[in-house]
């Protein structure tokens, strides 16, 4: 019973202090009052101040909770917007890098030193070799007969020869790569030895045929260029590849030699079609 009265007394004291606090706030906002009220207000404020601090400590976490919830939503929206902006900037950066790479490749194709005074047509690559096939190693390009591209013309890129035109439409053409098993290119060593380079597949080196065993032994890394013999499919002097392996076999009339193309045949964006045809 005594405990109940004590609890009731405490609750009554709490209510009185809360009402006193509200009254002080009201008096503060009512403007200037009499001097007597000033002293009363000061005394009451001193009495209520501890309670105000307790109430502030009690309700501050609740206020922070609501404030945090609102701020969290705003922060989440800001983060999402920033991620979108970063993604957009990265996309633009990649597009600019791609455009720069394309420009550099186009300029490289336009300034091929081995073409000398030969006329050429710059063409963009529409599609590359079909995946998984070593027997249809071709490129489709966006230039055709209306642009001066003709059947049998050599096609080069970067460091050297990549193939020849095997089909020419009005606006597009088909190029057979030198790694295609149906491709055969007449090549010449630096010492004048003549051979035929045949394709063996996209990722395989070219095989050199008819390399006489009586000729000087080819050196690994030696450059081979198109032979340009009478009736050859390509003009003389275009770089084709470098010797990658030489096998000396006794009792035979030829050397088994392989060659790696000097031009990159994958990832091509631009090529040059040399406007040259063999003499009839």
- Residue 97 in any domain: the answer is yes
Mark whether 79 and 150 lie in a shared domain: no
- Residue 280 in any domain: the answer is no
Domain boundary among 111, 139, 162: 111
Tokens at residue 165, please?
């035109």
Higher per-residue confidence, 228 vs 231: 228
How crowded is residue 230: how many other Cβ atoms within 10 Å of its Cβ?
A: 7
- Residue 279 in any domain: the answer is no
Q: Which of 13, 2, 7, 40 is nearest to 24 (CA)?
A: 40
Name the residue range of residue 102's domain. Answer: 1-111
Domain boundary among 111, 129, 145: 111
Mark whether 85 and 188 lie in a shared domain: no
The predicted model gives 170-197 an average pLDDT of: 92
The predicted model gives 195-214 an average pLDDT of: 86
**How many structural domains does the chain have?**
2
- Residue 89 in any domain: the answer is yes
Mark whether 5 and 130 lie in a shared domain: no
- The widest CA-to-CA distance across the chain, in whole angstroms, is 131
- Residue 71 in any domain: the answer is yes
- Residue 260 in any domain: the answer is yes
List the single range of 16-30, 68-82, 211-225, 263-277 with lowest mean pLDDT.
16-30
Mark whether 197 and 156 lie in a shared domain: yes
Mark whether 7 and 88 lie in a shared domain: yes
Mark whether 124 and 260 lie in a shared domain: yes
Mark whether 91 and 170 lie in a shared domain: no
Question: What does the pLDDT look like over 78-101, one tens digit per residue?
Answer: 777 777 667 666 666 555 555 555
Mark whether 159 and 242 lie in a shared domain: yes
- Residue 222 in any domain: the answer is yes
CATH number at 142 reads 2.40.10.340
Mark whether 131 and 76 lie in a shared domain: no
Mark whether 29 and 125 lie in a shared domain: no
Mark whether 177 and 265 lie in a shared domain: yes
- Residue 129 in any domain: the answer is yes
Whether residue 159 is predicted with pLDDT greater than 70 in this model: the reply is yes
Whether residue 185 is predicted with pLDDT greater than 90 in this model: the reply is yes
Mark whether 247 and 153 lie in a shared domain: yes
């Amino acid at each position: 019973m005594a405990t109940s009265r004590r609890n009731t007394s405490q609750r009554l004291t709490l209510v009185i202090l809360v009402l006193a606090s509200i009254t002080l706030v009201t008096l503060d906002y009512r403007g200037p009052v009499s001097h007597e009220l000033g002293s009363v207000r000061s005394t009451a404020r001193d009495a209520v101040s501890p309670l105000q601090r307790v109430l502030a400590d009690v309700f501050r976490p609740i206020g922070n909770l609501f404030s945090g919830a609102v701020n969290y939503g705003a922060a989440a929206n800001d983060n999402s917007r920033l991620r979108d902006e970063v993604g957009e900037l990265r996309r633009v950066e990649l597009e600019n890098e791609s455009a720069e790479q394309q420009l550099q490749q186009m300029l490289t194709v336009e300034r091929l030193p081995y073409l000398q005074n030969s006329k050429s047509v710059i063409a963009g690559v529409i599609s590359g070799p079909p995946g998984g096939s070593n027997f249809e190693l071709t490129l489709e390009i966006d230039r055709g007969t209306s642009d001066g591209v003709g059947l049998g013309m050599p096609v080069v890129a970067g460091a050297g020869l990549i193939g020849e035109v095997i089909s020419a439409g009005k606006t597009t053409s088909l190029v057979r790569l030198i790694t295609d098993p149906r491709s055969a290119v007449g090549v010449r060593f630096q010492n004048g030895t003549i051979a035929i380079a045949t394709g063996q597949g996209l990722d395989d080196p070219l095989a050199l045929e008819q390399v006489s065993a009586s000729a000087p032994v080819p050196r690994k890394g030696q450059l081979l260029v198109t032979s340009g013999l009478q009736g050859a499919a390509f003009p003389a002097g275009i770089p084709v590849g470098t010797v990658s392996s030489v096998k000396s076999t006794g009792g035979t009339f030829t050397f088994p030699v392989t060659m790696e193309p000097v031009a990159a045949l994958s990832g091509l964006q631009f090529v040059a079609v040399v406007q040259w045809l063999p003499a009839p």
